[in-house]
Structure formats: C-alpha cells, structure tokens
Chains A and B, each alone.
Chain A
Amino acid sequence: MFYREAGDFSTTYPQDSQTFPIKFDRYRYYFVLAFAFLVIPFIINDYWANAILLPFLIYTIAAIGLNILTGYCGQVSLGTGGFMAVGAYACYKLMTAFPEVNIFIHVILAGGVTALVGVLFGLPSLRIKGFYLAVATLAAQFFLVWLFNRVPWFYNYSASGQINAPERTVFGVLVTGPSAPAWATYLFCLVFVTICAILARNLTRGTIGRSWMAIRDMDIAAEIIGVNPLSAKLSAFAISSFFVGISGALFFAIYLGAVEVGEVFNIQKSFLVLFMIIIGGLGSIFGSFAGAAFLVVLPVFLKVVGVDLLGWPTDIVAHFQFIIIGALIIMFLILEPHGLAQLWRLTKEKLRLWPFPH
C-alpha cells in the first residue's frame, strides 16, 4: 500500500537511476543515516561501541571489500586476513613515521598500500581460476602473516612483536588510544563505512561493476564482448583490497589498539569475512551489512541470553554458540542460498504487492 513506485514520478535521469527508487525505501534510508549519525553518538557507551558497533562497522567494510572481489567479480579469496594485516601494519608504520599527519589520511593511505599488495597477489588470477585461485590467495594469507612476524621493521623492533596504536586526534578529539570517547571512535568508523558503502554501490552499478559481473558470469563470453579481463580482475583486486585495508587499519587503530598479527589476522579472520558475505548475500552491499551484523551480534546476543539471563556455565554457552551458529549457517545455505540479502529482496517484492497479492 505504501511500498510501491506508483505516484513517485521521476523527471530526470539521475532520479530514474537512484539507488532507492521507492519513496518509502528512500525515507527509511535517510532515517537510518540520521539515526546512526545524530542519535546513536549521544546514547552510545563503551560496551556498545567496543563489543558490538565497532566490530560490526569494521567487519562491514571488510565484507564490502571481499564482496566486490568474490560476489561481484567471482574471484574466491581466502587472503582477507592477510590483507587486513597489511592495512593494519601500513597504518601503524604511517602513524609512527608521520605523527603530524591526520589519522584520517593514514587510514586511506593504508588502504592504498593494501590495494598495491592486493594487485600483486591478484596477478595469478589471470591464469588460474576457482579453487586454484583460492589456494593462491591462501598463500598470500600465510605469507603476509609470516612476513609481519618475521621482519622486525614492521613492528618497529618492539620486544613483544606487537604493534600499539599511539593516540591520535581528529578535530581535537581523540579517536585512538584508551581514552578516546566511545562516540568519537564510533563516528570515525561510521564515516568510513558510509563513504565505502556509497562508493562501492556506485562502482558496482557502473561500467566497472558491469565488467566485473561479466567476468564473474562467464569470463570467455565477457572477453568476446570486449571486457578486458586483465583490467577487470586487477581492478577488482585493487578496489577490494583497498576496502579490506581500510578495515584492517580501523581494526587495529580504532578498535583493538594493540595487535598481534598471528592471533588477530590469522586464517580464521579470512573465513569469518567469507562467511559474512556468504550468509549476507554474494554480490550485494546490503548483504555485507547483514552478514557482518549476523556474525558479530549473534554470538554476543547468545552469550547475553545464555550466561546473564539463564545463568548457564560459560563453557556450555560457548559450545552452544558454535552449535547454533553452525546450524544457522547450514540452514541458511539450504533454505536461502543467496543469503540474507535475498530474503530482504523477497520481502520487498511481497511488500510491493501487499495487500493484494494477486
């Protein structure tokens, strides 16, 4: 009844091709943005920031990045953890080498460095495909973690091999370090998520996104109609790694503050982000948000229910987490292989017809 195109007239081409063609959707989108920017910063506390919202936002960026590569361009990657580590270490080196430069620029530069590394490890994708490419990116994962563990220059020769984020400010407000207020760290990440999501959305529906999808759907056909696989694949690797690098930099500088590469950026991180985009929906920006929310919020939610509400022993709850999340993943894959994003799409279809479905 409310959720339909009827009555909403487009008079210009940009209006016709906007992301949210339905008025209701558009207002919902503005509302979510306004809520995230104008309301949450005033009610957020340390727990909500550090336990739920920061990981959610940062994983979302990583998921968007991987979604570009895997969901849009069809190149399976298991190197996400390694690329996040590149972002984190690049950010650390930049922060300590140029303390006077704003952290905002460092994070973007860290993304740039990761993009370069990503292109380098993307080169094999020109010759190998599918599972074999997954194995090649797996090599990137292990090599990068090994590198950051092995070469002391990357962690400024500290005795423990850890990197620690020094305190940095934006507009005079601390955003890194233990004294940074929750709202500042949250807003800093939110700005990056918003920019990344808008950027990714517009990239994926333009020429470059169409060439990625052509490669994904059938690379030989794509080549015949004039898509250059070299530029399509390498640009996917570059842009994907750029996003993943930003998320790694934020993960280190804003969220954790101290990082040990072998523990934080190991192979499990790669799998986690891959699960996020599979559950959320391959080839969907909304899916990246949904998948990240699902895998960040659900364990915390189960823990709160199990330990605090029901008073169960912590180890039983931890085991239940594995069982429930594992079962849900399998259930989703069977019932809705296209992920949460597809569920959302179906809901919208139904809403459009409601209340007269015939």
Chain B
Amino acid sequence: MKVKLTTLAVSALMAAGPAMADLVYPLLSYRTGAYAANGIPFADGYTDYFTLLNERDGGIGGVPTRVLECETGYNTEKGVECYESTKGEGSLVYQPLSTGITYQLIPKATADDIPVHSMGYGRTSAANGKVFSHVFNYPATYWDGASIAINHILDLNGGDISGKKIALVFHNSAYGKEPIRTLEELSKKHGYELTTLAVDHPGQEQKSQWLQIRRERPDYVLMWGWGVMNQVAIQEAANIRFPMENFIGIWWSGSENDVLPAGDGADGYKALALANPGGDYPIYDDLQKYVYDAGKGAGAGDQMKTVLYNRGLYAALLAAEATKKAQELAGTADITPAQMRDGMEALVITEETMAGLGLPDFGPAFEVTCEKHGGSGLGKVQQWDASAKTWSVITDWIKSDDSVIQPLIMEDSAAFAAENNIAERCN
C-alpha cells in the first residue's frame, strides 16, 4: 500500500515537473478556513498581476511567469509542506502572507538561498539587512504601523497624549504580539497608558475583551487583527457604541470584507493604509482588457478594486520590479533565486515607476539597501464610509518615529544574530 502511494506520488510530482525557463512565483495562499475572507482577494490580485504581465508583455524580460499556488489554510504545518513542495521548482520569492509561516521560512529560506518578502508583516527586525540577508519587509513594518497610528493620534490631539488611555486588541500570536514592544516604548515617550487585550485564534469570541473596553473606556483602541477576528471586533465595537473614529486598525484590519458585515455600525472606522484604496487606476483598464475580459481572472473574479486585491497587485508588482532589477544586474533574463535576492536588495521604487506601471499615486517611494530591508516606513490613515461603502484616505503619508523603532530593530536583530551565530553583512 505504502509503496504504491509512494510511486503514485513520485510519478505525480514528475508529471507536474517544471517546464524550465519560466519565472516561478510560489503563492502560499489560503482560500479556506477562518482567514479565507482576507486570503482570497490577496491571492486573486497576486495571480491576476502575473497573468497581466504574461498576456500584455509576454512575461518579464521576455520570460513568461508562472504562479505556483499552494493552499496553506494559514496553517504552519501546511505552509512548511507547501514550501518544501514548491522550492524545487525554481521558486524566486516567497510571500506567505502569514507571520507564523514567515517565522518558519526565515531560517529555512535563508539556508536554501531563496528570498522571502513579508510585505508589511512577518518579523519586523528583519528590516535590518545586516542580519537578515534573505528577508525583506518593505514598504513598511509592523513597528512602523504602531508608530504611525500613535503619530496619527498625536496629530488629532495637538501633539499631547499624556494621560490618555490606549487599548490594543491583538490576535494572540506572533503577529499580534509584534507591536507591543513598540507601543510600550512609545508610551514611555508620550506618556499614554497602554492596555493590551489578547484575542485567541480564530477570534470569533471577543465578548470579554470588549466588555473590558466598555468598563475601562480607553480613549483609543488599536487593533492587530486578521481574518474573522476583524469582522467580529468591528461588530463588537459597534455593539458597545464605541466611537468608531477612535478605533484604528493596522493595514491588515482595513479591508472591505472586515467592515461590510457590521453595516452602518462600522461607519467612521479607521485603518492604516500601506497604499491608497480604490480602483481608479489605469492598471485596471489593462486588467479589464487582458485578464478579465479574456476570462483569465483568478478565483471568482469578484474581488477587484478592494483593498486586499490591490495589495495583492502591489505585492506582485514589487516582486516583478525586483525581478526586472535582478535581470538587469545578472545580465540574463532567466534568473535564479539568489539573483532575485540581489534584485530585491537593489530595488528602487519612485513615483515615476509607479505611474509608469499604471498605479500613479498609489504606494510610497522607497529604496532598498543592503542594510535597510524595511522600506520607507510610511503609511496613511483611511476611514470607512458605510453609506458610500468606500474607504477614503484622510491623511497624507505619515512617517514613523525612527528614533524609537531603529534601536528596537537593532536590539531584536542583534539577539537573533547572537542566537544563530550570524555575522553582520554589508560592512
């Protein structure tokens, strides 16, 4: 029985073996489970962008792209299985869209010489390229996010928030715990009082946390949530009539799927934005022409123009731009994962690049260097309008507080380097 299974599996792997000479982008997606509502739009956007490149430009630098999708269900073990099953196919860069899986992949991918791009998630201290050679988290990190949210609150209060009470509702995992250290440091600096409220996976049960918020009446509530937890939290906040404009989510808690279930109750809810929401971009004309109308759209085709679909496009765009850079540096179109890493480290995104790609005034301009893998550290704040069912951006780019974050990154990455005997690069 076992031998039979083995032969079958082996022959199956052979049959699906790689047709070399294409650029492979593994997509560790989750279209099932408690996080599917957020996983689907991202996966669709990511896939559609590469389809667009193939259909419109014939790939990148003349080499067709191939997206290798693997379902993880946001589960670490399945993520490991997906990584192992796809890495042999020449996978260029991993974007697992899960902080837990990112933590798994950081040492594994580094050992296998494959880059990981955890865009706005994962391990924040990976922004220190001196220690984390293969991990990138541009355009901004969680700690930037925490600082941007506090800066926004500072702006609202004329620069003084001492004595204010701020509560953090977080997913009780490595993801949700990331901002706590930064928020504690910032509370020392600005004198606010921080309360942390953990929500266990998957996050459907939050009655007690919101009861506590109702009792303690914090001035502001920050949220690090994902999947079904977002929807429940926003609904609970509406139920206790918490003033929505004082409720700010990270960029992973700010998509249409998160606010729509709460209906009018979600009106005024704020979330950070890595890039601008909405669908008024020239790229959508191309997508319409080459992808949707040609019947090549990924998934059910009902996610376009949403925040997370845009983010999927953005992630794919950054991967494609890094690929172009890598092709330029390597002098060959058919690059290896190691060359892709070099390309990512030399990536420069300007306003003009974004405009040229059909996404003008979308994301921030930033530059990746050997030391700095974290990008610009810029973010905006967007607010939900429940009657129009749209997100509107209410601030300009807000800069995070580097004087607090940089020492934290150095401290955490130094601890990682000491633990794993990593010598610093870029010297």
Contact = CB atoms under 8 A, between A and B. Distances in A.
A38 interface: no
B84 A47 contact: yes
B173 A262 contact: yes
A262 B201 contact: yes
A315 B12 CA distance: 19
Contacts of B103: 160, 162, 164, 258, 260
Interface stretch (A76-84, A304-312, A330-338): A304-312
Contacts of B61: none
A159 B412 contact: yes
B31 A315 contact: yes
Interface in A163-218: 164, 166-167, 177-179
B12 A305 contact: yes
B178 interface: yes
A256 B77 contact: yes
Interface of A: 46-47, 50-51, 55, 149, 158-162, 164, 166-167, 177-179, 255-258, 260, 262-264, 266, 293, 297, 300-301, 303-305, 307-309, 313-315, 317-319
Contacts of A179: 111
Contacts of A304: 9, 12-13
B84 A50 contact: yes
A326 to B, nearest CB: 14
Interface residues of B, number: 51
A121 to B, nearest CB: 21
Contacts of A309: 12, 15-16
A149 B12 CA distance: 41
Cβ-closest 7 pairs across A and B: A315-B31, A308-B16, A178-B111, A178-B107, A160-B174, A314-B71, A51-B81
Nearest to A54: B80
A164 B93 CA distance: 23
- Main secondary structure on B side of the interface with A: helix
A300 B174 contact: no
A66 B320 CA distance: 49
Contact of B5 (A166, A167, A301, A317): A301
A294 to B, nearest CB: 10
A121 B231 CA distance: 37
A225 B103 CA distance: 55
A61 to B, nearest CB: 16
Given A297-B5, A304-B13, A50 B177 contact: no
A307 B89 CA distance: 15
B419 to A, nearest CB: 6
Contacts of B31: 313-315, 318
A257 B104 contact: yes
A122 B21 CA distance: 59
Contacts, number: 116
A53 to B, nearest CB: 11
A255 B81 CA distance: 11
B104 A256 contact: yes
B188 interface: no
A266 B71 contact: no
Given A47-B85, A166-B420, A308-B15, 8 more contacts: A177-B107, A178-B112, A255-B80, A307-B69, A307-B70, A308-B13, A314-B31, A315-B71
A306 B22 CA distance: 23
Nearest to A55: B77
B115 to A, nearest CB: 14
B54 interface: no
B88 A47 contact: yes
Contacts of B40: 315
B173 A300 contact: no
A263 B100 contact: yes
Contact of B29 (A166, A258, A266, A314): A314
A322 to B, nearest CB: 8
Interface string B199-221: 01100000000000000000000
Given A258-B104, A262-B201, A318-B31, A178 B12 contact: no
A352 B181 CA distance: 67
A260 B81 contact: no
Contact of A160 (B70, B111, B178): B178
30 contacts: A46-B84, A47-B85, A47-B88, A50-B84, A160-B123, A160-B177, A161-B173, A162-B103, A162-B174, A164-B103, A167-B420, A177-B420, A178-B111, A256-B104, A257-B108, A260-B103, A264-B77, A300-B81, A301-B9, A303-B71, A304-B13, A308-B13, A308-B16, A309-B16, A313-B31, A313-B69, A313-B299, A314-B69, A314-B71, A318-B73
A177 B104 CA distance: 11
Nearest to A165: B107
B76 interface: yes
A304 B15 CA distance: 10
Contacts of B16: 308-309
A281 B173 CA distance: 35
Nearest to B112: A178
Given A177-B107, A304-B9, A260 B100 contact: yes
